[in-house]
A and B are shown apart, each in its own frame.
Chain A
Amino acid sequence: MIPVAFDYQRPTTVDEAVAALAGGGEDAKVLAGGQSLIPVLRLRLSAPSVLVDLGGIEQLRGVREEGDALVIGAMTTHDEVAGSPLVRRFAPLLATMAATIGDRQVRHRGTLGGSLSHADPAADLPAAAAALEARYVLAGPTGRRVVPAAGFALGLFTTALAEDEVLVEVQVPKLEGWGSHYEKFHRVVQAWAIVGVAAMVRREDGAIGSARVTLTNMGPTALRATALEQALAGCAADRAAIEEACAVAAEGTSPIDDLTASAEYRRHLVRVLAGRAVAAAAGV
């Protein structure tokens, strides 16, 4: 109910934040929106000795265009991402998926960077970023580096972020001419996804030219359903053909058995939901 005591820092620049993390050692944690971290602290599942609050760094918020990409600050809230005219136009899947996270109150505080850095396998945004082939800008003591979304999430709650690095912003390639759709299956509305399937489809000559399909909660990280993507390339844009292709939707996944669902059911759901997501994204 009440967290273990910790020291608190509120830097005003990214460099200050990096320095604070370096100074805090392995027991320092970043506080972004707090919607995942604070409940964990309250239950005393984690007891960091230092919290570095990024909330005072204004430059980490906002959505802007930079050439052929959108750049979204890591501290931009889910609500801001979902409502951003730029995101809705150039990366609508991201807006759609951000709008399904938790509930309104959570979306008012939870951040893009926080969600991506936390790397919960049941989270929606890592799957969105993977589908959009986003790139993450990380800031550390030696400067900045860019990591593609595919290489960022390494495992359960584990990312490529070093202990003294901060995710600063996310570059999302602008995409036009793609349809997209997210199927999120959960027990009650505010709950985490049992399984989620995000699909993006580009039509070509009346068929499916190419597709990107990412899966939530089918393994320790968000996954690209590569077997399905290959099966969909050149596939006819009708429900029967799509459903047939989706027979391989669960290939390469490693879902778990847990309280909310069995692995077997998850694999089945992915096949069904992929069919629905791809059909919707294809405008069928």
Chain B
Amino acid sequence: MTVTDDREVGAARRRKEDARLITGRTRWTDNLTLPGLLHMAILRSPYASARIVSVDTSAALSRPNVVAAFSGADVADVQGSLPCAWPVTEDIVHPDRPPLAVDMVRHHGEAVAVVVARDRASAMDALEAIEVDYEPLTPVLDLEEALADGAILVHPDKGTNLSYTWVFDSAAAGTGTDVATVDAEVVIERRYVQQRLIPAFMEPRSVIVDPGAGDYTIWSSTQIPHILRVFYALITGVPEHKIRVIAPDVGGGFGGKLHVTPEELITFMAARRIGRPVKYTETRSETMLAGHHGRDMIQDVRLTARRDGTVTGMSVKLIANMGAYLGLVGPGTPILGAFMYNGIYKFAAYRFECNGVFTNTTLTDPYRGAGRPEATYAIERAMDELAVELGLDPIEVRRRNWIKKEEFPFTTVAGLVYDSGDYDAATDKALMLLGYDELRKEQEARRASGDPVQLGIGTSTYTEMCGLAPSRILGALRYAAGGWETASVRVLPTGKVEVVTGVSPHGQGHETAWSQIVADELGVAFDDVEVLHGDTRTSHKGLDTYGSRSLAVGGIALVEACRKVRDKARTVAAHMLECSPDDLEFTGGAFRVRGTPDAAKTVADAAFAVFAAHDLPDGIEPTLDADATFDPETFSFPHGTHLCAVEVDTQTGHVSIRKYVAVDDVGKVINPTIVEGQVHGGVAQGIAQALHEEAVYDESGTLVTGSFVDYTPPTAADLPDIVTDRTETPATTHPLGVKGVGEAGTIASTPAVVNAIVDALRPYGISDVPMPCTPERVWRAIRAVGTETEGGRS
């Protein structure tokens, strides 16, 4: 077995991506232009629910510079239906989803008609000339009302707002016992609401379709160029080999660009009809309204335990808001969380039920964490509640329940096999970094003195399942695609290396990390590696980037491809050195004859030799190039302990984070700076859910948080520095030992913050504050209890 020297892997390499990004030489989709490019604007429904009586685009057509205008009725028989690639049950109610609404609009912002013009301003001006006659209807917006008898139906022809019910029962699955039969000396029953969020990536989405002469090129600000290509072919009928999709520079995604959008299909239709390239770039208002939303579910949680603190079982019942339609993977997002409600704990009975429900709102689809933040929130909040119920320290109650290091690999009650982890090490480190004991003392002192500013400490000990995903498990879950990933490694005659990867980065630094891996695997310089991605002509195959999969799956494919290259190079090198391949060891970046280290040949030497092909060993093709496609056997299970200390101003309800510590274990680390950056960004989004963000619809179904004025992601002045550290427990299920990190920060942080707020307010009799924990909500929580205990005095 060859051991690769780790020179680059583990190093805090600066990023190759930066050069163009810090100088403005960027290729965002909206930056691109083509000869004869036309611009599209979309007219959107102002109503959450309405019948479209008529649409008249004729006046728009006669406006200056307008080339085309059409509505859903004009394309009804060709436009097809947007896909749902994850119909989680056999009897799932799966309505059609037309890119342009034809008879009905079912959410505020649904696309109704388009104008295509020579310039963007003319297109926008002409929108005003389109006449739409709507018959407004009453929308259904509340999840429980949507399920009630006699509810208004989003899709009357389906007869129900319930899209699916998905159940997991450990007794039935054989992975545990029946929740109804376990010890229930202590019962924690809580309802939590995961508020609706908006991914709010900084680059609004943009798409350009160039119809060519029947060979289509599409640039799109997407996380999934490969998947998009497949769906374009399936929906438009244009053969797949006549479609090229390019994700150029993409400005953030967070799951929010993991979709096949109405806009991508409409722009395609426009370009196809007109025969010229068409660009559509959304405004931020359109991103907020029509880009898919995240989370939005009601969680009813029941945790049972013994008085000694041992958790015996958990039941979870979800009502998950699908929105008006099913998204690309929307039904499955809560299901991904199904396997994570047990968290890092050993209890042996578990039941999960998820009901996916339609309402007249923008559809939901994945947003950073996709089901796992929701799950982690529920279990980590419940563990804190259990601690309070039993008078135990919240860390202690967790310690009594989590899987011990020596117990790995561990099969959980949800049926997953966690390969490795060390919850004690991460927690001990976090406690030390936070200064836990000192802060508890300070908390005591403030409580004793009745300080109007109270201190709270929140804990979140999490694991997550990422590295999506083993294809057979995806199949068992009825997901339409697989979860493998691919890499091609090509060594050029001058010894430079081109890597083609099937992942599609949008900020994660894969060009840099992949270069580090290849540099060590092949003994080449970091700067001699070029990583190609995002263009289906170049990266012919892949399943793109989401679910913290790129390194955990794509990185393994890369390593395997590199090792195939190295094996071929070894054979060539042995031939050049006139020895047996077994006489060679690969060390210090070259193949060396054991015993005579000066007799060495590099991969570059072998590359030129195969290029010239003057003297190759028999049976060797004149190439070192190799492909590999890796289908993981299992998920990746990073874990960690996050601790948050907050100060709550009980007079105003304002919460400020005093200290935040994140200790994460992502297995082996390729680039520690990139890992730390992912944790920073993930934690920021989780804090934002806890404190700042909520997508809100009013009673008419109008999205009232339709801009950054009302939907407020935090600024630099609203976030603290966080203290980050790591433990390193390598994954055991593949040669690289890495685990994913892209979503971990978000998954961990929200319950850490909310647990801290509730902890601060326990003396006031408070056991929950609904998210986002705005100052007013905190204030009301304090007041509500005060009213109850003081007999109505407010």
Interface residues in chain A, defined as those with a beta carbon under 8 Å from any beta carbon in chain B: 1-2, 4-5, 43, 103, 185, 187-192, 259-262, 265, 268-269, 272-273
In-complex Cβ contact of A188 among B124, B651, B692, B705 (8 A): B692
B776 at the interface (CB under 8 A from A): yes
In-complex Cβ contact of B712 among A2, A103, A187 (8 A): A187
When the two chains form their complex, are residues A269 and B718 in contact, meaning their CB atoms are under 8 A apart? no
Cβ contacts B690-702/A at 8 Å (1 or 0 each):
0010001000000
When the two chains form their complex, are residues B704 and A262 in contact, meaning their CB atoms are under 8 A apart? no
- Known interface pairs A187-B692, A188-B715, A188-B718; A2-B120 also in contact (CB < 8 Å): yes
When the two chains form their complex, are residues A43 and B776 in contact, meaning their CB atoms are under 8 A apart? no
When the two chains form their complex, are residues A2 and B121 in contact, meaning their CB atoms are under 8 A apart? yes
**Which one of A188, A191, A261 has the highest number of Cβ atoms from chain B below 10 Å of its Cβ?**
A188
Residues of B near A185 (CB, < 8 A) are 652, 654, 775
B779 at the interface (CB under 8 A from A): yes
Q: Which residue of B lies closest to A266 (CB)?
A: B776
B125 at the interface (CB under 8 A from A): yes
B774 at the interface (CB under 8 A from A): yes
Docked complex Cα distance between A191 and B718 (Å): 11
When the two chains form their complex, are residues B715 and A189 in contact, meaning their CB atoms are under 8 A apart? yes
When the two chains form their complex, are residues B652 and A188 in contact, meaning their CB atoms are under 8 A apart? no
B494 at the interface (CB under 8 A from A): no
When the two chains form their complex, are residues B712 and A259 in contact, meaning their CB atoms are under 8 A apart? no
Q: In the complex, what's the smallest C-beta–C-beta distance from A190 to chain B, in angstroms?
A: 6
Q: In the complex, what's the smallest C-beta–C-beta distance from B436 to chain A, in angstroms?
A: 29
Known A-B contacts: A4-B125, A259-B704, A259-B710. Give 17 more (CB < 8 A): A1-B120, A5-B121, A185-B654, A185-B775, A187-B692, A188-B713, A188-B714, A188-B717, A189-B715, A189-B717, A190-B717, A259-B696, A259-B705, A261-B776, A265-B780, A268-B779, A269-B652
When the two chains form their complex, are residues A265 and B779 in contact, meaning their CB atoms are under 8 A apart? yes
Cβ contacts B646-686/A at 8 Å (1 or 0 each):
00000110100000000000000000000000000000000
B283 at the interface (CB under 8 A from A): yes
- Known interface pairs A187-B712, A191-B712; A43-B285 also in contact (CB < 8 Å): yes
Q: Which residue of A lies closest to B284 (CB)?
A: A1
Q: In the complex, what's the smallest C-beta–C-beta distance from B773 to chain A, in angstroms?
A: 12
Docked complex Cα distance between A17 and B692 (Å): 43
Report 14 cross-chain contacts, Cβ distance below 8 Å, ordered by A residue.
Answer: A4-B125, A5-B121, A187-B775, A188-B692, A188-B712, A189-B715, A189-B717, A189-B718, A191-B709, A191-B712, A192-B709, A259-B704, A261-B776, A273-B652
Docked complex Cα distance between A262 and B121 (Å): 39
Residues of A near B712 (CB, < 8 A) are 187-188, 191
Q: Which residue of A lies closest to B204 (CB)?
A: A1
Q: Which residue of A lies closest to B688 (CB)?
A: A188
Q: Which residue of B lies closest to A47 (CB)?
A: B128
Q: In the complex, what's the smallest C-beta–C-beta distance from A228 to chain B, in angstroms?
A: 17
Residues of A near B779 (CB, < 8 A) are 265, 268
Docked complex Cα distance between A79 and B675 (Å): 39
Residues of B near A1 (CB, < 8 A) are 120, 124, 283, 285
Q: Which residue of A lies closest to B772 (CB)?
A: A187
Residues of A near B124 (CB, < 8 A) are 1-2
Among all A-B residue pairs, the 4 with the closest Cβ atoms: A189-B717, A1-B283, A265-B776, A188-B712
Residues of A near B780 (CB, < 8 A) are 265
Residues of A near B692 (CB, < 8 A) are 187-188
Residues of A near B717 (CB, < 8 A) are 188-190
Docked complex Cα distance between A265 and B774 (Å): 12
Residues of B near A260 (CB, < 8 A) are 710
Q: In the complex, what's the smallest C-beta–C-beta distance from A256 to chain B, in angstroms?
A: 14
Q: In the complex, what's the smallest C-beta–C-beta distance from B685 to chain A, in angstroms?
A: 14
When the two chains form their complex, are residues B718 and A262 in contact, meaning their CB atoms are under 8 A apart? no
Docked complex Cα distance between A262 and B780 (Å): 11
Docked complex Cα distance between A259 and B334 (Å): 28
Residues of A near B713 (CB, < 8 A) are 188
Residues facing A in B294-329 (CB within 8 A) are none
- Known interface pairs A4-B125, A259-B710; A190-B715 also in contact (CB < 8 Å): yes
Docked complex Cα distance between A123 and B651 (Å): 24
Residues of A near B120 (CB, < 8 A) are 1-2
Q: In the complex, what's the smallest C-beta–C-beta distance from A36 to chain B, in angstroms?
A: 12
Residues of A near B283 (CB, < 8 A) are 1
Q: In the complex, what's the smallest C-beta–C-beta distance from B42 to chain A, in angstroms?
A: 12
Q: In the complex, what's the smallest C-beta–C-beta distance from B163 to chain A, in angstroms?
A: 29
Residues of B near A43 (CB, < 8 A) are 285
Q: In the complex, what's the smallest C-beta–C-beta distance from A277 to chain B, in angstroms?
A: 13
Docked complex Cα distance between A191 and B775 (Å): 15
Q: Which residue of A lies closest to B452 (CB)?
A: A272
When the two chains form their complex, are residues A262 and B776 in contact, meaning their CB atoms are under 8 A apart? yes
Q: Which residue of B lies closest to A1 (CB)?
A: B283
Docked complex Cα distance between A262 and B776 (Å): 8
Q: In the complex, what's the smallest C-beta–C-beta distance from B253 to chain A, in angstroms?
A: 22
Q: Which residue of A lies closest to B286 (CB)?
A: A1
Docked complex Cα distance between A189 and B716 (Å): 9
Q: Which residue of A lies closest to B120 (CB)?
A: A2
Residues of B near A261 (CB, < 8 A) are 776
Residues of A near B775 (CB, < 8 A) are 185, 187
Q: Which residue of A lies closest to B121 (CB)?
A: A2
Q: In the complex, what's the smallest C-beta–C-beta distance from B60 to chain A, in angstroms?
A: 15
Q: Which residue of B lies closest to A269 (CB)?
A: B652
Residues of A near B704 (CB, < 8 A) are 259
Docked complex Cα distance between A4 and B125 (Å): 7
Docked complex Cα distance between A262 and B692 (Å): 16
Q: In the complex, what's the smallest C-beta–C-beta distance from A270 to chain B, in angstroms?
A: 11
Docked complex Cα distance between A103 and B715 (Å): 11
- Known interface pairs A2-B121, A188-B692; A272-B776 also in contact (CB < 8 Å): no
Residues of B near A265 (CB, < 8 A) are 776, 779-780
Docked complex Cα distance between A272 and B717 (Å): 23
Q: In the complex, what's the smallest C-beta–C-beta distance from A188 to chain B, in angstroms?
A: 5
Docked complex Cα distance between A268 and B652 (Å): 8
Q: In the complex, what's the smallest C-beta–C-beta distance from B410 to chain A, in angstroms?
A: 42
- Known interface pairs A190-B715, A261-B776; A272-B652 also in contact (CB < 8 Å): yes
Docked complex Cα distance between A189 and B712 (Å): 10
Residues of A near B774 (CB, < 8 A) are 187
Docked complex Cα distance between A269 and B125 (Å): 44
Q: Which residue of A lies closest to B779 (CB)?
A: A265
Q: Which residue of B lies closest to A273 (CB)?
A: B652
**Which one of B651, B696, B705 has the highest number of Cβ atoms from chain A below 10 Å of its Cβ?**
B651
Cβ contacts B758-776/A at 8 Å (1 or 0 each):
0000000000000000111
Docked complex Cα distance between A273 and B649 (Å): 12
Q: In the complex, what's the smallest C-beta–C-beta distance from B122 to chain A, in angstroms?
A: 9
Q: In the complex, what's the smallest C-beta–C-beta distance from A191 to chain B, in angstroms?
A: 6
Q: In the complex, what's the smallest C-beta–C-beta distance from B707 to chain A, in angstroms?
A: 8
Q: Which residue of B lies closest to A4 (CB)?
A: B125
Residues of B near A269 (CB, < 8 A) are 652
Docked complex Cα distance between A260 and B692 (Å): 11
Q: In the complex, what's the smallest C-beta–C-beta distance from B120 to chain A, in angstroms?
A: 6
Residues of B near A259 (CB, < 8 A) are 696, 704-705, 710
When the two chains form their complex, are residues A272 and B651 in contact, meaning their CB atoms are under 8 A apart? yes
Q: Which residue of A lies closest to B776 (CB)?
A: A265
Docked complex Cα distance between A4 and B121 (Å): 8
Docked complex Cα distance between A2 and B692 (Å): 29
Q: In the complex, what's the smallest C-beta–C-beta distance from B391 to chain A, in angstroms?
A: 34
Q: In the complex, what's the smallest C-beta–C-beta distance from A112 to chain B, in angstroms?
A: 22
Q: Which residue of B lies closest to A265 (CB)?
A: B776
Q: In the complex, what's the smallest C-beta–C-beta distance from A229 to chain B, in angstroms?
A: 22
Docked complex Cα distance between A192 and B718 (Å): 14
Q: In the complex, what's the smallest C-beta–C-beta distance from B651 to chain A, in angstroms?
A: 5
Q: In the complex, what's the smallest C-beta–C-beta distance from B486 to chain A, in angstroms?
A: 39
Q: In the complex, what's the smallest C-beta–C-beta distance from A117 to chain B, in angstroms?
A: 20
Q: In the complex, what's the smallest C-beta–C-beta distance from A110 to chain B, in angstroms?
A: 15
Residues of A near B709 (CB, < 8 A) are 191-192
Q: In the complex, what's the smallest C-beta–C-beta distance from B162 to chain A, in angstroms?
A: 30
Residues of B near A2 (CB, < 8 A) are 120-121, 124
Docked complex Cα distance between A231 and B654 (Å): 27
Docked complex Cα distance between A262 and B651 (Å): 16
Q: Which residue of A lies closest to B698 (CB)?
A: A259
Residues facing A in B480-535 (CB within 8 A) are none
